[in-house]
A and B are shown apart, each in its own frame.
Chain A
């Protein structure tokens, strides 16, 4: 049973560019959340997708957008990259099940903005 997978593993971009990160949830999961983890910090919630819609959003600017596909996979897009966007981006999947409340994390995508 494959866990959460993310691609690419590492990415280097230049200020002002745009980037797309991808996530495939754990088999059977229907909800995807994205988190940003800056160096030396805890993960910060960006947004969550369920049934192909953004259900909840953290305190991130509109430059951060996302999408969920019918197969539950998800993309995170960041426009007009800033140096401060350099971080580890984590995808987490879960099941819309009140009895579970477990989020499974992928290995992350390390984004470096120069």
Chain B
């Protein structure tokens, strides 16, 4: 079984400040991990993914995440927040077995940027 916990359903940061969105996972096998962003009334867009290569993963729009096995975490960061970063962010886990590509999502974190 696999699961994801996102700490903080709402996060507010000032424009230009550090963005930190937390994600912890549970998986019986080495996982693949993903961060998706969802803007209002839209589908999900992949920000970045970890698939057992480098533990520090860089994604689009200046976001990055670090896989820490010892902490079972995959937190998302961005050094300087922009107003356009305001959205809902979802962490997801997948188990890379044959035919098992289903994504298990967390409940999401709504990011608000304060001007």
Contact = CB atoms under 8 A, between A and B. Distances in A.
B19 to A, nearest CB: 19
A55 B49 contact: no
Given A105-B43, A108-B43, A44 B101 contact: no
B102 A33 contact: yes
Given A101-B94, A102-B49, A43 B44 contact: yes
A44 B102 contact: no
Category for how many chain B residues contact A: 20 to 34
Contacts of B90: 42-43
Contacts of A106: 43
A50 B100 CA distance: 11
A31 interface: yes
A44 B92 CA distance: 11
B70 interface: no
Contacts of A35: 103
Contacts of A102: 46, 49
Interface in B53-103: 90, 92, 94, 96, 99-103
Contacts of B45: 105
16 contacts: A4-B43, A33-B103, A41-B107, A42-B90, A42-B105, A43-B103, A43-B105, A44-B105, A45-B102, A50-B99, A58-B102, A90-B44, A92-B44, A103-B103, A105-B44, A108-B42
Interface of A: 4, 31, 33, 35, 40-45, 48, 50, 55-56, 58, 90, 92, 94, 98, 101-108
Given A41-B107, A42-B107, A101-B49, 18 more contacts: A35-B103, A40-B107, A42-B90, A42-B105, A43-B44, A43-B103, A55-B99, A56-B100, A90-B44, A92-B44, A101-B32, A101-B51, A101-B101, A103-B46, A103-B103, A105-B36, A105-B43, A107-B42
